[in-house]
Structure 1
Amino acid sequence: MKKKRILLKVGSNTLTKETDNISRGKIEDMANQIAKLQDTCEFIIVSSGAIAVAKQFVKLESQRKELFVKQALASIGQPHLIRIYQEIFREYGLLSSQCLLSYSDFEKEDSRTNIMNTINVLVNNNYIPIINENDTVATDEIKFGDNDKLGALTASLLDVDLFVIATNTNGIYTKASIENGKLETIKVVEDLEALKTQVVNSKSSHGSGGMESKIEAAVVAKNAHIETWIVNGLEDNFLINALKDKVAFTKIK
């Protein structure tokens, strides 16, 4: 039976559970769900969090602009981040690998082919690719929005069946419900242009995205005929519960 291919994008705010530290418990939660689903699903993960990990260990001083400090922090944090993933995933019998990509890689045909072939070999051999932007040479994630676009581009290139963005809300809320304080999730979206009028953009404490960047990522996925789900990754068992339709989340057709 052909497995359902899911690209799961996890932002810094989800990985830290809205604290100042990477949450090993959240990565355990992800590993536990993937282990339970591995007979029917195969996974590719796009993970932020390198800068957040580094901030746990170091405080860098620099006379240069903040962007260079963030790039340096990413360089320090990335090995720690992948080590945490590998340690925890191994406990659940899962194999993982690291892939660092830049947006420019998606603009060259040879690079696109190499990415696709390499990740397909990994997935076909039961490795879970954990992808992040190569922040030390590229600045788009820091500028653009917490890997949302990188996730969408990767999902499109690999022709996944489902693109899941784990964030810190129960999907996208209606504008009226945000204004009146009684949050109501938009459950199904057919018209992305109409959806944009509902979005109240705000950025999280660690992430650089916000709901606007997630909508833009969903547009990229929609153009590749891929459905996008925006789910609350702070909740335990968020993916399994979404697949069973047990929780409120936004499904962008």
Structure 2
Amino acid sequence: MSKKRIVLKIGSNTLTRETNHISRGKIEDIARQIAMLKDQHEFIIVSSGAVAAAKQFVHLESNGKEITVKQALASIGQLHLMRIYQENFRELGLLISQCLLSYSDFKSKTSKENIINTISVLLQNDYIPIINENDTVATDEIRFGDNDKLAAMTAELLQADLLIIATNTNGIYTKQSILNKQPETIRETVGFENLIKEVADAKSSHGTGGMRSKIEAIEIAMSNNIETWVVNGLQENFIINAIENKIPFTKIKTNT
């Protein structure tokens, strides 16, 4: 039986549990769930958090260009981030690999073929690819989207069955409920058109995205018939609880 392929996008707010430090406990929580699900699911992780990881250890002097400092922090923090992933996943018998991609990689036919071939080999050998943008040469993720678009493009390229976007809210809230200060989750919808006018335009504290960037990612996924879930990654056991429909989250189903 073929496994269900899931692209799991994890933002900085989830990884830090909305603090100033990467949470080992949260990464352990993710690893534990994947270990429990691995017989029937295969995971590709798109992970932010490199800049947040670096800020725990270093302070860089600015040369007046904030984006350059963030790129340098990403270069330093990526090593720490992957070390934390490796230590926690290894304890549960899970193997990981690092894949640094740029949006330009998705524009070249040869690059796309190389990505598909490499990740296919990794998955066949039970390695979990952990993807982040190569921030030292590309600034798109630092400026826009917090890897939401990268996750959707990855899901498209690798023909995923499901895209899960882990964030710091219980899915996507209706705009009216935000105005009323009583957030109400859109539990299920088909397609993304109705979501665009409903989404609240708010950014998170550590990430660079917000719900609008997630809507843009959903549009990419929907155009490729990939079901998408927006789930509160701050909760323990959020992947399994979403699969078992035990928590409020937003499920965007395809038109087919």
Counterpart amino acid of 1:80? H
| Other-structure match for 1:54 | 54
CA–CA distance in 1 between the matches of 2:112 and 2:63? 37
Shift of 1:144: 1.6
Mapped pair 1:180 → 2:180: yes
Q: Is 1:205 matched with 2:205?
A: yes
TM-score of the superposed pair, with normalisation by structure 2: 0.98
Q: How much has 1:193 moved relative to structure 2?
A: 2.1
Deviation at 1:205, TM superposition (A): 1.1
CA distance in 1, matches of 2:147, 2:236: 22
Q: Give me the whole-angstrom Cα distance separating, in 2, the residues matched to 1:156 and 1:63.
A: 38
Structure 1 runs of 4+ with >4 Å offset = none
Structure 2 equivalent of residue 119 of structure 1: 119
Report the equivalent of 1:129.
129
Query: Secondary structure of the residue that 2:236 maps to in structure 1?
Result: coil
Specify the alignment match of 1:190 in structure 2: 190
TM-score normalised by the chain length of structure 1: 0.99
Name the structure 2 match of 1:243.
Answer: 243
Deviation at 1:69, TM superposition (A): 0.3
Q: CA deviation at 1:191?
A: 4.1
Partner of 2:15: 15
Query: What corresponds to 1:232 in structure 2?
Result: 232
Q: Secondary structure at the match of 1:146?
A: helix
* 1:160-216 Cα shifts (integer Å, max 9, x gaps): 110000000000011111111222110112242221111111111110000000000
* Aligned-partner residue type, residue 126 of structure 2: N
Counterpart CA distance in 1 for 2:36 and 2:186 is 28
Question: 2:82 maps to which residue?
Answer: 82
Deviation at 1:54, TM superposition (A): 0.3
Give the match for residue 91 of structure 1. Answer: 91
**Shift of residue 67, structure 1, vs aligned partner:** 0.3
Unaligned runs of 5+ in 2: none
After superposition, the C-alpha distances for 1:208-241 in whole angstroms (9 at most, x for unaligned) are 0000000000100111110010000000000000
RMSD of aligned residue pairs (Cα, Å): 0.7
Q: Give the whole-Å Cα distance in 2 for the aligned partners of 1:86 and 1:193.
A: 39
| Aligned-partner Cα distance in 1 for 2:197–2:191 | 11
Q: Are positions 1:32 and 2:23 aligned together?
A: no
Deviation at 1:133, TM superposition (A): 0.2
| 8 Å Cα contact 2:230-2:249 kept in structure 1 | yes
Deviations 1:93-135 (A, max 9, x none): 1000000000000000000000001001001100000000000
User: What is the CA distance between 1:64 and its match in structure 2?
Assistant: 2.9
Determine helix, strand or coil for the equivalent of 1:57.
Answer: coil
In the other structure, the counterpart of 2:166 is: 166
Q: Distance in 2 between matches of 1:136 and 1:118?
A: 22
Checking the alignment, whether the CA contact within 8 Å between 2:192 and 2:222 is kept in structure 1 is: no
Displacement of 1:63 in angstroms is 2.0
In structure 1, the partner of 2:110 is 110
Unaligned runs of 5+ in 1: none
Identical aligned residues as a percent: 69
The one-character-per-residue Cα deviations of 1:21-67 (angstroms, maximum 9, x if unpaired) are 00000000000000000111000000000000000011111223100
Give the Cα–Cα distance (whole angstroms) in 2 for the partners of residues 179 and 202 of structure 1.
Answer: 12
* CA–CA separation in structure 2 for the residues paired with 1:187 and 1:51: 32
Deviation string, structure 1 residues 6-33 (Cα, Å, up to 9, x no partner): 0000000000000000000000000000
Q: Choose 230-239 or 197-206, whichever is displaced more.
A: 197-206
Contact (CA 8 Å) 2:191, 2:222: kept in 1 or not? no
Deviation at 1:143, TM superposition (A): 1.4
Structure 2 partner of 1:223: 223
AA of the residue aligned to 1:97: S
